[in-house]
Structure 1
Amino acid sequence: MLVKPAPTLRSRAISVLQTLQNHSATCPCHACTSPTPYPFASLLTARKLAVTAPIEKEYAFEMAASNIRYGNGVTREVGMDFKNLGVKKVAVFTDNNILNLAPIKNAIAALESEGIHYEIYSKVRVEPKDTSVKDAIAWARKVTPEAYLAVGGGSVMDTCKIASLYEAYPEAEFLEFVNAPIGKGRPVDRKLKPLIAVPTTAGTGSETTGTAIFDLVSHKAKTGIAHRALKPLLGIVDPLNTSSMPSQVKSSSGLDVLCHSLESWTAIPYSERVPRPTNPILRPAYQGANPISDIFSFEALRLTVKYLPRSVRDPDDAEAQEKMLLAATLAGVGFGNAGVHLCHGLSYPISGMNKTYKHAGYKVDHPIIPHGVSVAVTAPQVFRFTGPTNPDRHLAAAEVFGVDIANAKAENAGEILGDAIAEFLVKLGDQPRGISDLGFTKADIPALVEGTLPQARVLMLAPNFQKDDDQKREDLARILESSLVY
């Protein structure tokens, strides 16, 4: 009788590797399944790697942004744009605040002048929730337009993007495309209908990006969908459309631009992001700092620091209003490809867990922490935390705020930038001086931390944050505790 020899350590390792090679692997960055990209060609390789395959870093970045048309009065061209596309039926998205104002009236007049049939959806919620987004999806699936027109702020543009996406996938469940790990993070593999976006606030930059954000009520946090296919075909950037913004709206919208530019400027380099995608379709929209995004982000920061205070103080300062809208668009191109990190990751549970705070200047019937407020309120402490990772970039940003960095020490870069941001916020006025002004206490910090951790899409780009979950919890708790009052 022959006795089968016991398997050696070498043979067991080879068996494990063969098993790995023959099964799909889950990509932690994109949360989708794909064949494992690590072939094992020889026993020598198998022995060298033991049973752990190397995680390859990214080696490329892509730039994607909407076509942009900028100028006073260009809203009147939108009817011609749809006619040039051969479109005869358009779904128009706006909100009840914009419905009776000049931007939507001018856009509708432009459609009518070219004989474009349209239907209007004006039930967009400012700071959308999943319930309001689902209502918009149902409406779009019923109307089945040939194209979309979004006239409004980020909430309108984001809601329109999502409605357009799910109208193209009538069979899809709601979490199908939502960012992982909250949703399934399914890539978009169908062509969406043309979308033209007309921003009426100088803040989100949503007219340039494939990102759409909403509150997921069940998780008490914001999440969203990010894919290049969602970006508008054209962004109509008309400074005349922002003239009716109340000063508080200008302020909070501008703070979103400020954090977009700072976060994308200081995000980890694209070449440090892991793992490398196995297929270009899996390369995320948020890729990390890169040489092209850097140009857009830094110029947006410079314009915001210079012109936001002027635009808030003087509604008749036409130059400041125009420059802030330009800054928002530039920042959109920058962060739409580089991404944002901790300020935005923390902002999502801050907004989602709001119970009673209602920011001045917003004509809504529900509590609201505007997105720009929720991202800026932790910014001083966030950049104190990230400073050690790239002192040069943090000092360069501080210099934009007017800080003399000639004799600054690298180890103080985070403190210097954090102090500069705090001073800027205080001088801007009408801003909460920390999350305690939003109604949060130290007892809320654990829940805010747990609401931040699932924001993997942005946290993976945070400098000084490539750690295990326990350490991440400790870091987030420290940032939030220091942000109770700044």
Structure 2
Amino acid sequence: MRDSEAGTSETGTTETDTEAEAGTPAGNETVFTWGGPALKFGAGAVAEIGYDVAQLGASRVLVLTDPGVAATGVPDRVVDSLRAAGLAAELFTGVHVEPTDTSIAAAVDFARDGGWDGFVGVGGGSAIDTAKAVDLMTSHPADLNDYLNAPIGRGLAPAGPLAPLVAVPTTAGTGAESTAVCVLDVLDLRVKTGISHPRLRPALAVVDPEVTLTLPPGVTAASGFDILCHALESFTARPYDAYPRRRPEDRVAYCGANPVSDVWIRQTLPLLARSFRTAHRSGDDLAARTDMLQAALFAGLGFGNAGVHIPHACAYPIAGRVRDFHPDGYPDAEPMVPHGMSVVLTAPAAFRRTYEANPERHLWAAHVLDPETDQVADPGERLPTAIIRLMRDTGMPNGLSEVGYAETDVADLVDGASRQHRLLSIAPVDVGDDVLTDVLKDSLTLW
């Protein structure tokens, strides 16, 4: 999910070329954009989803989830509520945890001839992102590669509006219920990438803390670190007015740090500081689960507009090129590094590199997460220290070496991360292969 360091738009043209072609005045951007879905939040919200979807004008609704979430019974409750509201509803349980181009193609094939005029994604980011892709590919059929972010794909925009999509998160992490992006693995390239456009953003997010009470500790921790990195990366992102000016049609979903996104992040970090460890330790603590879902939602409303940078760019090859790591709490059928885990493994090293771009923001975040880091002598180490302490308290691996990577893998990981142009351009510092190499080497062992 990144734009190039040179500043490419989502159509793949450089900002300089775009300005020259359109006669756009030279200079830096003066406009930022912000968007979010309609929201329904609170214990018991899922029971009302039939009414809510009917208000969006849908009559035939496909509910998408993965087998693990299906086993909890939550998707069946959604289908029952839809049918009770007089809607035709069907359940698809074939979502792949950490979606791939192949798994999304299978979901699109299932949905293609169904005549669906509404979609509901129930689950973590995998289910919600798959629902976004199915909505896109059935509303405006094309080759998947046409929509993938450049330079991996063509980065084309949807030709028109999509059918209404409702997101029901069952994990507190991805913030996919409030973002305009869809993330997937491209298997042949062994890399993660995404589709990014404002039309992918769900029409409604139905966020019910009760559906997260059964999450295992390992899933709680990994998804929680996705929240943390969403918040920290968007808060420290390059400001929107540091970019060249864009034409209206070239404005991208990730526009850089901006005043509205900052408001959401300043609400996110105190919630994490208060409840992350409790939610990991005591899964049935409804107050802690509520805080974590609010944090995920708020972070999504922040990063879904500002963007993320170095840790997410590195995370894609870390997850996409895994060989034999099997995390606690996830299906054991195949190796995987969960997304939130793959992101946080490079976060301490990344924030060492970005500290000088805005020390005040790094120090504020460190203090909120762990006031004891005020005593760390080197200010640039305070935020990395706060992250590492939280990782140790929640059972995260001690660096890339514990998920199967060695120094000999660094060049391969750099190759994958360097392709994430759209994200790397959001970093507050210039990021070349030298920076990525240093970050990945420093992340082999964290403590």
CA distance in 2, matches of 1:40, 1:314: 56
Post-superposition CA distance 1:297-341 (Å, at most 9, x none): 121122112211000101221110111011000000000000000
Alignment match of 1:119 (pick from 90, 99, 106):
90
The verdict on how the C-alpha distance between 1:40 and 1:219 changes in structure 2, with shifts beyond 3 A counting, is: closer
Quote the residue 1:449 is aligned against: 414
- Kindly, what percent of the aligned residue pairs are identical? 38
Alignment of 1:296-335 (within 5 A): 296-335=264-303
User: Does the CA contact (< 8 Å) of 1:76 and 1:109 recur in 2?
Assistant: no
CA contact (8 A) 2:9 2:250 kept: no
Structure 1 residue aligned with 2:3: none
Distance 2:299 2:435 in 1: 27
CA distance in 2, matches of 1:221, 1:81: 37
Matched, 1:276 2:249: no
Matched position secondary structure for 1:184: coil
Cα distance in 2 for partners of 1:252, 1:146 equals: 34
**2:403 counterpart of 1:438:** yes
CA RMSD of aligned residues (A): 2.0
Does the C-alpha gap of structure 1 residues 475 and 431 become closer, same or farther in structure 2, counting only changes over 3 Å? same
Counterpart Cα distance in 1 of 2:300 and 2:21: 38
The 3 A distance-change label for structure 1 pair 386 and 106 is: same
Indicate the SS of the match to 2:202. Answer: coil
What is the match of residue 398 of structure 1? Answer: 366
1:57 to 8, 11, 28: 28
Which segments of 5 or more consecutive residues in structure 2 lack a partner in the other structure?
A: 1-5
1:49 is aligned to none
Letter in 1 for 2:10: H
Alignment correspondent of 1:362: 330
TM-score by length of 1: 0.87
CA distance in 2, matches of 1:254, 1:27: 30
Larger mean CA deviation between 77-86 and 179-188 belongs to: 77-86
Preserved contact between residue 187 and residue 282 of structure 1 (Cα < 8 Å): no
* Higher relative contact order (CA closer than 8 Å, sequence separation 6+): 2
Partner of 1:18: none
TM-score, normalised relative to structure 2: 0.94
- Rounded Cα–Cα distance in structure 2 between residues aligned with 1:252 and 1:174: 28
Give how far 1:236 is off.
0.1
Residue 414 of structure 1 corresponds to: 380
Unaligned runs of 5+ in 1: 1-25, 42-52, 467-471
Please state whether the residue corresponding to 1:151 is helix, strand or coil. Answer: strand
1:251 aligns with 221
C-alpha contact (below 8 Å) 2:118/2:163 kept by paired residues? yes
SS of equivalent residue, structure 1 residue 312? helix
Counterpart selection for 2:317 from 349, 364, 387: 349
Deviation track 1:225-255 (CA, whole Å, cap 9, x = no partner) reads 0111001100000011111111111111101
1:105 equivalent in structure 2: 76
User: What is the aligned residue count?
Assistant: 439
Q: SS state of the match for residue 168, structure 2?
A: strand
Change (3 A) 1:190 1:313: same
CA distance in 1, matches of 2:344, 2:21: 45
Larger radius of gyration: 1
Q: For the Cα contact (< 8 Å) 1:130–1:217, is it kept in 2?
A: yes
Deviates more, 1:116-125 or 1:333-342: 116-125
| CA 75–406 in structure 1, closer or farther in 2 if over 3 Å, else same | closer
SS at match of 2:113: helix
Q: Does 1:175 align with 2:145?
A: yes
Aligned residue for 1:295? 263
Aligned mate of 1:196, from 141, 147, 166: 166
- Indicate if the aligned counterparts of 2:272 and 2:369 stay in contact, CA closer than 8 A: no
Report the equivalent of 2:438.
478
Residue 57 of structure 1: CA displacement? 2.2
In the alignment, which residue of structure 1 is the partner of 2:122?
151
1:36 and 1:325 map into 2 onto residues whose CA distance is: 40
CA-to-aligned-CA distance 1:63-88 (integer Å, 9 cap, x gap): 11111110111111111122223322
SS of match in other structure, 2:137: helix
Tell me the equivalent position of 1:377.
345
